[in-house]
Amino acid sequence: MTLAASSIGRKVMMALSGLFLVLFLTQHFSINLLSVFSESLFNQVSHFMGNNPIVQFILQPILIFGVLLHFTMGFLLELQNSKSRSVKYDSYKGSTNASWMSRNMILSGIVILSFLGLHFYDFWFPEMNYKYIEVLPLDADRYFEEMVHKFQSPARVAIYALSFIFLSLHLFHGFASSFQSVGVNNKYSKSIKSFTVIFSIVIPLGFIFIALFHHLTAF
């Protein structure tokens, strides 16, 4: 209980859920990437993820819990922080001693959260509707087309790309910072930082690439 009530405990939960989300992101990216190479493989894997009971009824709830935990703790901590300085500085040079990314996690977080809303609206709600509400017949080949269809709208692709830029900024600080929060700061920290830089550029850029690829190559 102390853990959930204390600032450090909350921070640890932020970090752990964040790291979990990083894993999820990697997995999500790998599947998306398949769509560039092979329609059928993409459909196959998507079908498996969408209908495997372990993924659907165990991993999916854990993922949702992770997302909820991550942003709930984020907001709780932000609330604490917003109360910690009642009179603001007249002159404050945050940029001289800390990166923009680290100082604006709540901003990038909110952008990503909003994007998640859109993403759910685009994919997850229709998916849930298809499978569990209307209970439409199984169709192992529908996924690729559904996705390509979504990427037809230039506006959606633009929002998608912008969101991933924010995700990149969020990851840029968040990934390495998670290790610090759970108490890892040692001789490996430099490597973790370097890996973070690569990861936070490659993965979001990859997502954007996939979206653009389908936007440009369809029809």
83 sits near other proteins (criterion: CB under 8 A)? yes
Residue placing its CB nearer to other proteins in the complex, 77 or 212: 77
Scan for tokens 């929060």, then name that residue: 181
12 sits near other proteins (criterion: CB under 8 A)? yes
Radius of gyration for the alpha carbons in the chain, expressed in angstroms and rounded:
19
190 sits near other proteins (criterion: CB under 8 A)? no
187 sits near other proteins (criterion: CB under 8 A)? no
Give the C-alpha separation, 120 to 117, whole Å.
5
88 sits near other proteins (criterion: CB under 8 A)? yes
9 sits near other proteins (criterion: CB under 8 A)? yes
Which of these segments, 8-16, 34-42, 59-67, 131-139, binds other proteins (CB under 8 A)?
8-16
Which of these segments, 28-36, 93-101, 120-128, 146-154, binds other proteins (CB under 8 A)?
93-101
The nearest distance, CB 166 to other proteins, in angstroms, is: 17
The nearest distance, CB 78 to other proteins, in angstroms, is: 9
Give the C-alpha separation, 211 to 77, whole Å.
34
Which residue in 47, 102, 156, 165 binds other proteins (CB under 8 A)?
A: 102
Which residue in 184, 201, 202, 216 binds other proteins (CB under 8 A)?
A: 184
**In sequence order, what DSSP letters do the residues of the chain get, joined into one string?**
-HHHHSHHHHHHHHHHHHHHHHHHHHHHHHHHHHHHH-HHHHHHHHHHHHH-HHIIIIIHHHHHHHHHHHHHHHHHHHHHHHHS-SSPPSS--GGGTS-HHHHTHHHHHHHHHHHHHHHIIIIIHHHHIIIIIS-PPP-TT-HHHHHHHHTT-HHHHHHHHHHHHHHHHHHHHHHHHHHHHTT--STTHHHHHHHHHHHHHHHHHHHHHHHHHHHHH--
87 sits near other proteins (criterion: CB under 8 A)? yes
The pattern of x and - marking residues 138 through 177 that bind other proteins according to CB under 8 A reads -----------------------------------x---x
Residues in contact with other proteins by the rule CB under 8 A: 2-3, 6-12, 77, 80-81, 83-94, 96-99, 102-103, 105, 173, 177, 180-185
